[in-house]
Structure 1
């Protein structure tokens, strides 16, 4: 007899002070950070390629992809190697995380939809949020985040920065 569960397992990690999560079933492995081989003229969030067990895997600076400042490497910086199912293929890529925490279960009824802030903000990449004691965990919808080339945060929502 099959067991029906009302929770799913997620890998939690941080980008700055924010906590994010991805489903554990898409995480192939977690690696120490090593500089990838650069790819000329790639998008800003593409750091380059890294060899992962004989496969060239694109390494993505998730902070940049989400409209944040680029990652500053520390002793805790890790790469989550993921296999993301898209409509017609499996996308293998590595996401840079400031720190990886743990695998945690979230009850399905505890996952809330992304908040509506009434502004030009693309929250399509948020699958849901989970409340914890003093904060929230943002569950990323990886297939939406990597299915097109539009930035996750609208240019309207970001302040312009003068270049010195």
Structure 2
């Protein structure tokens, strides 16, 4: 019997490439300016309506503690469908869907520690950082 691999969606912020599990990604949108939310935290850009669902849009640079000046315009929104609601993560570019590795293939990340970062993956001489925003977004409620 063939083993079913989990898929991930690859996106870019600055010079780094990230992979998030595809299982919680509802869709990828071209960037649209969210409506501001008074009193929202520093990482919240605002809210958008996606087919009748209100989506809280978060800055990807803020989630990953990146300097926003090191990134080009963040041109896409990854919409996550989580048990706690819909969240959008603003990213620079969405590049591909790829197979996620088994735990044995994942390396720990030595140079940067963050709750959303799960480890790293080397593919075709490129480094991908494995992330999962689900727990972070669930804590916002």
Structure 2 length-normalised TM? 0.84
* Greater relative CO (CA pairs within 8 A, separation 6+): 2
CA contact (8 A) 2:14 2:72 kept: no
Cα distance per residue 1:14-73 (max 9 Å; x no partner): 011110111111111111101000012211110000000011110010111221123652
Is 1:54–2:52 an aligned residue pair? yes
Cα distance in 2 for residues equivalent to 1:145 and 1:132: 26
Q: CA deviation at 1:108?
A: 1.2
Match of 2:122 among 102, 108, 131: 131
Cα distance in 2 for residues equivalent to 1:81 and 1:59: 8
Partner of 1:14: 12
Partner of 1:115: 109
CA pair 107-66 structure 1, distance change in 2 beyond 3 A: closer
Query: Counterparts in 2 of 1:68-107, with a 5 A limit?
Result: 68-70=66-68, 72-73=72-73, 77-84=75-82, 89-107=83-101
Structure 1 length-normalised TM? 0.73
* 2:6 partner SS: strand
Gap runs ≥5 in structure 1: 150-164
Gap runs ≥5 in structure 2: none
In the TM superposition, structure 1's runs of 4+ consecutive aligned residues that sit over 4 Å from their partners are none
- TM-align CA RMSD: 2.2
Cα distance in 2 for residues equivalent to 1:110 and 1:12: 20
For these two proteins, the number of residue pairs brought into alignment is 138
Cα distance in 1 for residues equivalent to 2:44 and 2:25: 19
